[in-house]
Amino acid sequence: MSELLNLQFEFAERVSLIPGKVRELDMRVKFGEILRSNEQAEINALGRVGRAELCRAIDESWPGLALAISDNVGSGIRKSQHCRALALDLQLFGSRDGSWVYLRNSQDYETLGRWWCTLHESARWGGDFQDPDGGHFSFEWRGVK
């Protein structure tokens, strides 16, 4: 079995533990992006200005695609662990006055992030490397988090 495939299995097994831990913390969770296509990674790597230029170039021929790209607020790197199925973006919700409220601050994710990092020697949490909302959970492979 390849090293990457084995690590992907390990990652998926650890991800399956997240909902239970979130419940213990009296929160709720939605899974965001896990597997990112190479095409999406390229779009994200363009940044806002690059996406705007791309949209102007393709708008006449593919208006639907241009709209989808312009609505994309993602950012990232071309070699993201999402492209290797080794990353997950989480959206945590906390109860406030009887409603579930999306938690947007890295500190809201810290307890879960610290727990995640205990599950495997490759486990990484975005709050440890300036992920603004803290929702990035991944396994490091070949130096990429």
Q: List pLDDT tens digits, range 82-140.
A: 889 999 999 999 999 999 999 998 999 999 999 999 999 999 999 898 777 789 999 99
Nearest to 79 by CA among 24, 8, 7, 145: 145
The whole-number pLDDT of residue 37 equals 78
Spatial contact of 90 and 18, defined as CB atoms under 8 Å apart? yes
The whole-number pLDDT of residue 78 equals 62
**The pLDDT of residue 81 is above 70:** yes
For 42-51, how does the pLDDT look when each residue is reduced to its tens digit (9 = 90+)? 777 777 788 7
Radius of gyration of the chain (CA): 17
Distances (CA, A) of 78 to 74, 94, 143, 145: 12, 32, 14, 12
Q: CA–CA separation, 75 vs 72, rounded Å?
A: 9
pTM: 0.80
The whole-number pLDDT of residue 71 equals 60
Reduce the DSSP state of residue 60 to 3 states and report it: coil
Q: CA–CA separation, 71 vs 67, rounded Å?
A: 6
How big is the CA angle at 36 (ends 34 and 39), to the nearest 5 degrees? 170
**The pLDDT of residue 74 is above 60:** no
